[in-house]
Copies of this chain bind each other. A is one copy, B any other.
Amino acid sequence: MKTELAVDMLSALAYAARLDIFRYLVRIGPDGAAAGDIASACNITPSTLSHHLNQMRQCGLIGRTRQGRAQIYHVNFDAMNTLIGFLSDDCCNGQPDLCLKGNEK
């Protein structure tokens, strides 16, 4: 994984409003949610939300499909796992013993 992409993904999650959005989409699951639903669930104005969703989408953390006049957003679990894998590797590479404890927590 290119570190530039990792930085983009981390940035996408490194903001309270976006982390909220992401967690909401995780809770919703693979079916995803329409932009309007996210806006009211997370209490964000449409244009600001759109901006955040774009950022998360550009780095691949979420995807989008149209359904009628709604845009449905959903978590890309593969991308999220790639990020978690990157962090685990980055943390444990060369020091596996240090990272085993705590990981079951």
Interface residues of A (CB under 8 A from B): 3-4, 6-7, 10-11, 13-16, 19, 22-23, 26-27, 29-30, 75, 77-78, 80-85, 87-88, 90-91, 93-95, 98-99, 101-103, 105
Contacts and interface: CB of A to CB of B under 8 A. Distances in A.
Question: How many monomers of this protein are in the complex?
Answer: 2
A11 B88 CA distance: 17
Contacts of A103: 81, 84-85
B90 A26 contact: yes
A78 B102 CA distance: 6
A85 B102 contact: yes
Q: Which residue of A81, A93, A102 has the most chain B CB atoms within 10 A of its CB atom? A: A81
A84 B95 contact: no
